[in-house]
Every structure is written in structure tokens, then in C-alpha cells.
Amino acid sequence: MKKKIQLLLIVAILCSFAFSGCTPDPIVSQTLSDVIEVSNVPYQENLDDEDPIKKTIDGIDLTITPVAYYEISARVLSTKSYSRGWQGELAPRDLALAWGELADPGNREHIEFNQRGRWYYYKFSPEFPFDVTFIIENSANSHIIPATDNIRYALETVEEEDSIYIEGYLVKIIGMKDGEKYWWNSSTRRDDSGDGSCEIIYAEKLRINDKLYL
């Protein structure tokens, strides 16, 4: 009888977990002691003829082609999760990121960021010491495609003011379903704005503060 009760309790716990909407805790690959240096600009190396990554989401056959190797160390200004459609499944989280002087807490006191509809927005007070061009060149709204389930879980733990490092690729995406074409292309510049200016990052490494995830 005791074993039966224990078994029922285990089943109840598993069922509770299954319906709770929880995701597994991400596995930490390494805990690092050095500080992420957010003062540097992102590093980019353009690529040619890279092997594409194939995925199928909602019946859409997607070809994800790396166009540039990309590394970014930055401060998180805002985060937003998405789940609807093939884009929400492919890139479930957007991170608004800042580097250089914009990542300095003293400068961020006079500027506010938020996200919606896969865009990021900002407003700043007259006391802000820089102009719009400075903001554009030192921040980005990044759509993150996790290369692994573990990175996907880790993405959900990112919070505002975290220091992060991402290593991976800027990508262009082409999809096809029943003769209908889909596309989503990353920016490859830091000085553009408006439609098409977001970075789409296929992330193979993600570091959040002192924890590295693969």
C-alpha cells in the first residue's frame, strides 16, 4: 500500500509538471570568472557559401543561411518573448542590446526602451547627452534563434540589465509552403534603422553574466 501511494505521488508530480508550462532549467556548460566587456562594438566577419541549416515549422520548409560570423557582448536593455507563427517558434525571444557608452548605467538613466511587434522603441529626456544616431549605432533589437534546446531554455532566463555574450551567425531565411514563399533577413550593419534593421542571430553560444550555455 505504501509503495502504491508513493507511485501515485510521483505520477501526480509528473502530471503537475507537464501541465504547469514550466521549461527545464538550462544546463550550465561553464561558470566563468571574467567580466563580459560591454564597451566593445560587435564583431562581424562576412561569409560566402556557408552550408545552410534546414528546419520545418508549421509545414514551412525553412533554409537558414549564415551570411556573417557574429559576436556581441552587450547589456540587456529590454526583452520580449514571442510564440505565434513560424517566426515565434524559430526565434522565441528578442533582446534589445546596448554596447559602448550606451551600456553605461549613467547614460541609460535618461533613456527608456521597450519592445512590441518584433520592434524596439526608445524615448529619451533632454538630459540625454547623445543624439538618435548614437543610439542607432550603439544598440540593436536582436531576434535570437537558439541553436540548441539548452540555449532556448537559457534565453527565457535573460533579464534586463544582464550582461550577455552571444556567438553565432547573422542569417537570411527563406521558406516555402504550398507554393507560397516566406523570408526573413538579418541586417548586417550597425548604422541602419527602420524595417529590416534588426539582427537575426543564430546563437551557438550564449553567456548570461558568468554562466555559459551551449
Give 5's contacts (C-beta < 8 A, 6+ positions apart).
none
**What is the rounded distance in angstroms from the CA atom of residue 18 to the CA atom of residue 107?**
44
User: At residue 71, does pLDDT exceed 70?
Assistant: yes
Q: Residue 163 contacts by C-beta under 8 Å, 6 or more apart in sequence?
A: 35, 36, 38, 73, 74, 75, 76, 208, 209
Distances from the Cα of 191 to the Cαs of 140, 146, 198, in angstroms? 10, 25, 11
**What's the whole-number mean pLDDT along residues 125-150?**
95
Q: What residues does each domain of the chain span?
A: 29-213
Mean pLDDT over 121-145 rounds to: 94
Pairing status of strand 43-46 against strand 60-81? antiparallel
**Cell numbers of 115, please?**
519592445
The pLDDT confidence band at residue 22, using thresholds 50, 70 and 90, is: low
Count of residues in the chain: 214
pLDDT in tens, 86-108: 999 999 999 999 999 999 988 88
The residue among 91, 96, 146 whose CA lies nearest residue 116 is: 96
Q: Please determine, for residue 15, whether its predicted confidence score (pLDDT) is greater than 90.
A: no
Segment 117-128, tens digit of pLDDT: 999 999 999 999
Q: What's the confidence (pLDDT) of residue 13?
A: 41
Q: Is pLDDT above 60 for 160?
A: yes
| Residues in CB range of 138: below 8 A, 6 or more apart | 98, 99, 100, 101, 102, 103
Cell of 93: 525571444
Q: pLDDT digit string (tens) for 47-56? A: 998 999 999 9
pLDDT in tens, 106-118: 888 889 999 999 9
The H or E element containing residue 10 is helix 2-18
